Structure 1
Amino acid sequence: MTTEREKMLAGELYLASDPELVQARASARDLLRQYNQTSQAELSQRAEILKQLLGAVGEQAWIEPPFYCDYGSNLFLGRGVYLNFNCTVLDCNTVHIGDNAKFGPSVQIYTAYHPVDVAARLAGPELAAPIRIGQNSWIGGGVIVCPGVTIGDNTTIGAGSVVTKDIPANVVAVGNPCRVLRSLDS
């Protein structure tokens, strides 16, 4: 038997109202409330909460509160990752952020999406697609990364960009929709 959680992570239509998923989101929100209420003096408490909340937290990874996510357990941070204030990760599918990736404030990562067909959307099930952000990337403030996107290693995404399609490694990309501006290989 396939659970709604398994369907969600497989990129299939699933019901977010499933009791297991509702409970998982409630648990994440409790941990997020605790995390977001800590003070700068409670660094060890923050690190412990992130270990409980996230799928993986690499050494020296850090998230500035406030921070928001759906499940937490589907978010995997590499070593030295830094997420600035007010980042939101809808981790209904996996989000892998490579070593030394840096995010500006208010970055939004959305794995969740809904059917385009109105009847299917009104029926209730939704979808989610994984996101991968390469190592050593810089994601500027206010960037939105859409479902199913991969951003390559060493890439810079300009502030305010909306990333709707994969962006290769070693480039600077900007805009809405985000497009490659120049290569960093030269």
Structure 2
Amino acid sequence: MSHTTERAATMAALATRDEDVRSLLAGGWIRYRTSPGLQDLSWEAHTVCARIGQLYYDDPDEARRLFRTLVPGAGEGIDFRPPLSIDYGERLVIGDRTFINADFLIIGGGLVTIGADTLIGPRCAIYTPNHAEDTTSRLEGWELPEPVTIGSNVWLGGSVTITPGVTIGNNAIIGAGSVVTHDIPADVIAVGNPCRPLREITTARAVPAAN
């Protein structure tokens, strides 16, 4: 059984007995703090993340195997540096040849999709849940996970923060320390807090051609 099939079966089994897991998969509101299923999933994910960090430099092949178990939607040729902190590996899809630098953080159960050939700098964070605004619902623990989509050949500088519901277009460059609160189009350099497009990416070659 493939990692993808195995994890899908686990999620389906949990969904039969936990309404918050069902709601997560349907894109609805959840209450993490009162959901045994969601807490079990995130606990397991963080345990695997910790194990990857422990093994990475002594047994990199096993660390990579564990990563693919954690993230069944990972493509081929992905390179990463620990530590990682991922709440739900089943809710993450990563394209081929993407590089993830150290201290990568994904919070919440919103579906996160990262394209191929993307470069993710150190200490980047993706936040997917929006907590309820009204005080009563927030005290009850309600939150709404929203998807985040990062295109192919995107470069996220160090310490970039991406908030719920954001889409970043193909080839975009996000400057270090930026906080992305709205969609960013393809083929631009964007910086700031809140992050805004600065200019289009030049097509002029800036480095020597390979021999």
The alignment's TM-score, normalised by the length of structure 1, stands at 0.94
Which structure has the larger Rg over C-alpha atoms? Answer: 2
Q: Give the match for residue 165 of structure 1.
A: 182
CA shift for structure 1 position 10 = 3.3
Quick one: which amino acid aligns to residue 38 of structure 2? L
> SS at the partner of 1:121?
helix
Distance 1:6 1:102 in 2: 33
Distance 2:175 2:131 in 1: 27
Quick one: which amino acid aligns to residue 118 of structure 2? A
Report Cα offsets for 1:66-87 as digits up to 9, x if no partner.
0101111111110011110111
Structure 2 residue 42 is the aligned partner of structure 1 residue 25: yes
Report Cα offsets for 1:89-118 as digits up to 9, x if no partner.
114111010000111100000111201222
Q: Give the match for residue 82 of structure 1.
A: 99
Higher-RCO chain (CA-CA 8 Å, sequence separation at least 6): 1
Contact 1:101 1:137 in 2 (8 A): yes
Q: Give the match for residue 6 of structure 1.
A: 22
RMSD (CA atoms)? 1.6
More helix by share: 2
Contact 2:190 2:196 in 1 (8 A): yes
Distance 2:25 2:156 in 1: 24
Distance 1:76 1:39 in 2: 21
Structure 2 residue 31 is the aligned partner of structure 1 residue 15: yes
Q: Give the match for residue 135 of structure 2.
A: 118
Contact 2:24 2:109 in 1 (8 A): yes
Distance 2:165 2:121 in 1: 21
Q: Give the match for residue 55 of structure 1.
A: 72
Q: How many residues align?
A: 186
Q: Which runs of 5+ in 2 are unaligned?
A: 1-15, 204-211
CA shift for structure 1 position 184 = 2.1
Quick one: which amino acid aligns to residue 182 of structure 1? R
Indicate the percent of aligned positions where both proteins have the same amino acid: 38
Quick one: which amino acid aligns to residue 59 of structure 1? E
Report Cα offsets for 1:111-152 as digits up to 9, x if no partner.
112012222211211111000000000001000000000000
Q: Give the match for residue 193 of structure 2.
A: 176
